Amino acid sequence: MNYLTELLAFYHWLSTHPMPGLLQAYWHLLMYFNNKSALPDVSGVWHWPVAFKAPNSVVMARLGLDDRRKVMRQRSKLIEAGRVTYEKDTGNRAGWYRMIPFDKSLAPGWAQLEKQKQPTQVWTQTSTQNGHTGGLFINNALNNKHASLYNRIPDGGVAPSPEAAMEAMKRNVNSVFGTDIFKLYEE
């Protein structure tokens, strides 16, 4: 999953699906938890798990809510909006969230992640509409996970210039969503 792509698509989606600020904050918090739960596979490639946990006590504290019923009510609204699914766990353990990605070229797949005994279901980039398959695009201290799965470093190992990479990323993101979502932010 690509954090930036999902973030841009979320704000594009909000233009036709208005949502109160509390629900927007909840969606952002869940994206944070999903990203935070990413792990490398045995070859060092990072993956976002399809299912992840976010304890109600933490959700309440971060969203400024004082009652678990308020969390459940807000969660139900996110589920109704089609942005997440949720499955209760047993006892008082945190339940399992699943983000519903905007990027329709993502599909659940399986990976053997470090620190995990069993394979884990993760989001995988099947391909983009223009046929590119995933590859590492950005690698920095803030996000050393897959930051863009739309461009790959050429076989010669030389990465494109930042300007060329940005233009390629814009073209590819726009092809996934079928509209120039970046133009909305330039106006």
| 43 token code pair | 């070859």
Query: Sign of the CA dihedral 70, 54, 28, 176?
Result: negative
Question: How many alpha carbons lie under 13 Å from residue 170 in its C-beta half-sphere?
Answer: 13
Structural domain of 180: 3-186
DSSP assigned state of 91: T
Spatial distance between the Cα atoms of 62 and 32, rounded to a whole number of angstroms: 12
Confidence category of residue 152, pLDDT binned at 50, 70, 90: very low
Q: Provide the angle, in degrees to the nearest 10, between the axes of the packed helices 56-63 and 21-36.
A: 130
Mean pLDDT of the 16-43 span: 93
Tens-digit pLDDT profile for residues 39-66: 888 888 888 999 999 999 999 999 999 9
| 151 token code pair | 């461009």
Tens-digit pLDDT profile for residues 83-102: 999 999 988 899 999 999 98
Structurally, the chain folds into a number of domains equal to 1
SS3 of residue 160 by DSSP:
coil
Q: What is the CA radius of gyration of the chain?
A: 18
Answer yes or no: pTM beyond 0.75. Answer: no
- Decide: 87 and 77 in contact? Cβ < 8 Å: no
DSSP assigned state of 43: T
| 20 token code pair | 């109160």
